[in-house]
Amino acid sequence: MATGTLNNICEIIKCTLNSYGKWTESEPIITDCRVKEEYKKIKNKSAEEVVSKMMFTFSPDTEINFDDSKITYIIRFKGNKYEPISILNKRNTMGDITRKVVYV
């Protein structure tokens, strides 16, 4: 994906669950993204159908995923905080990841 299409700036905050059961936030990582506001029915990580109101597109090397239950991410965009509902890796015909799409 050409970096020129990532025309917005947002912050990604990694939140970790500590041994006391409290969420701690890391320093925000400022990254380029593309934002599209639309209502879309998608499936969350529990395979339930939910409605997403925004779609963020990031470069493929952006660190944001659902691999661990003790780690979550928050996207801060224009003063608002959004929690990801679904994260998809989009691939080209060769199988390489070209972008990450995050629905909130």
Give the confidence band of 34 by pLDDT, cuts at 50, 70, 90.
Answer: very high
Which pTM does this prediction carry?
0.86
Q: Are strands 71-77 and 80-82 parallel, antiparallel or unpaired?
A: antiparallel
Q: Please say if the pLDDT value at position 2 is more than 60.
A: no
Mean pLDDT of the chain: 89
Q: Any residues with CB less than 8 A from the CB of 5 and at least 6 apart, and which?
A: 34, 57
Q: Are strands 29-43 and 86-91 parallel, antiparallel or unpaired?
A: unpaired
State the Cα–Cα distance between residues 102 and 57, nearest whole angstrom.
Answer: 6
Give the confidence band of 21 by pLDDT, cuts at 50, 70, 90.
Answer: confident
State the Cα–Cα distance between residues 12 and 6, nearest whole angstrom.
Answer: 15
44-85: per-residue pLDDT in tens?
888 899 999 999 999 999 988 887 778 889 999 999 999 999
All domains in the chain, ordered by first residue:
3-103 (2.40.10)
